[in-house]
Amino acid sequence: MPVVKLQTMPSRGTLTRFMKQNFDRLDRKGPTPVQNLRTTILVFVAGFAAVHSAHPLQGQQQGPPAFDSVEVKGDRSVLFRIWAPNASKVNLVSSDMPGSNPFGPGIELSKHADGVWETTTAPVAAGSYRYAFDVDGLTVTDPKNGATSESNSNTWSLFSVPGSSVSDLQEVPQGAISIWTYRSKSLGRSRRVHVYTPPGYEGSSGTYPVLYLLHGAMDSDASWSTVGRAGTVLDNLIAAGKAKPMIVVMPMGHTGPFTFGPGGNNFQEQMSLFERDFAEDLRPAVEQRYRITSGRENRAIAGLSMGGAQTLNIAIRNLSDYGYIGVFSSGVFGIEGTGFGANNTSPTWQEQHSAALQDKEVRQGLKLVWFATGKDDFLLSTSRATVDMLKKHGFPVIFEETEGGHTWHNWRELYLPAFASRLFQ
């Protein structure tokens, strides 16, 4: 078999004559069909490689260099990178990373000669965080990171800083999170829900208490199980003997697209639609599908931000159904008469719920009313005013003011484990 050597870039005609000469040479020697096939392949590959290496396609762009898009340093600072060689500006956007405002411009990245943009944050606490990149005004998820967390109308990339005794995956028995849909007759469509079942649920026949866990505004039924890591938090608490095995139901709190401010969807209307769906469709579907222990002493409800306000609406109106109420970074919106949720034309929240608030008999069956809000949280005054109002009506409220603000760090690392450990004892 002849050895093919191409030292310089041949023209198309030269390459064609070269191939024909070698085929004729083999034909005179009587090569086998296999030899002819091998020679054809070798000549074609060698010629193509020479052409391609000497004259790359005009306008062809080099591929991205090798790099990690997220790198957690030893001091827990985080290096972010994205390859965007033609971009003129790139920012890092996050819902609760230090130095980033999800409603602001974000953290600016610097561009390197190879087209990779990068920035390093200040050290962050252990836990999970959402982020995205704003590339010339277009918000995109990290193309090199498959971990994501859904919100109501968008998806975030997700990463974790290790070192949390609460939310890190540990070598303990693990429960399961199921995702299924139910038919909401009140809304006229199907709805999705995430449900956590504790370790051993599938192999047992016993019943379990239930916690309904609600997300905040702009989020979705997937939020508590992704950035909130509710399943892992419960697994760790149960394994340590700090919480009773329980079912945790994480529903979709929005009933459609939602935005704040003028031109946005009516907040109170969405609240009302969700509460109707919860009472008429979601809860009956859940308690038919899962083995749930009956009685208010085996039923809890809690939520963060918007979900905390929904929790109060649902629980106070149906107080005989719930033994435990948890409100994280929230309260009765507009209770102070100003700000978001304030309504000076219709009956106040207290007036709308006066019968339940004054029912001493049904209130006696309550096991726990628990509030927690950070000192830097913009809803701190709302929480304080709501706690004061409930105490005036005789509710035995426990209120914890913690460090921090309106962030998943507080809800995941502090409030959920503190509340869950108090349930069904």
Given CA atoms 359, 364, 365, 366 in this order, what sign does their dihedral have? positive
Of residues 36 and 211, which shows the higher confidence score?
211
**Distance between CA 99 and CA 78 in Å, rounded?**
12
Domain segments of the chain as ranges: 12-54, 70-146, 176-420
Average pLDDT over residues 288-308: 97
What is the pLDDT at residue 163?
A: 96
**Distance between CA 363 and CA 361 in Å, rounded?**
5
pLDDT in tens, 234-251: 999 999 999 999 999 999
Report whether 107 contacts 122 (CB < 8 A).
no
Average pLDDT over residues 314-332: 97
pLDDT band at 96 (very low <50, low <70, confident <90, very high): confident
pTM of the model: 0.84
pLDDT band at 265 (very low <50, low <70, confident <90, very high): low
pLDDT in tens, 339-394: 555 565 678 899 999 999 999 999 999 999 999 999 999 999 999 999 999 999 99
What is the pLDDT at residue 13?
A: 52
User: For the chain, what is the mean pLDDT?
Assistant: 87
Is 74 a residue whose pLDDT tops 70? yes
The β-bridge relationship of strands 148-150 and 155-161 is antiparallel
Contacts of residue 245, defined as CB under 8 A and 6 or more positions apart, other chains included, come to: 198, 199, 200, 201, 208, 238
70-146 CATH fold:
Immunoglobulin-like (2.60.40)
What is the pLDDT at residue 268?
A: 83
pLDDT in tens, 181-235: 999 999 999 999 999 999 999 999 999 999 999 999 999 999 999 999 999 999 9
**Architecture category of domain 176-420 in CATH:** 3-Layer(aba) Sandwich (3.40)
Q: Measured at the alpha carbon of residue 273, what is the angle toward residues 268 and 278, in degrees to the nearest 5?
A: 125
Q: Bridge partners of 183? A: 190
What is the pLDDT at residue 37?
A: 44
What is the pLDDT at residue 294?
A: 96
Q: Measured at the alpha carbon of residue 219, what is the angle toward residues 175 and 171, in degrees to the nearest 5?
A: 25
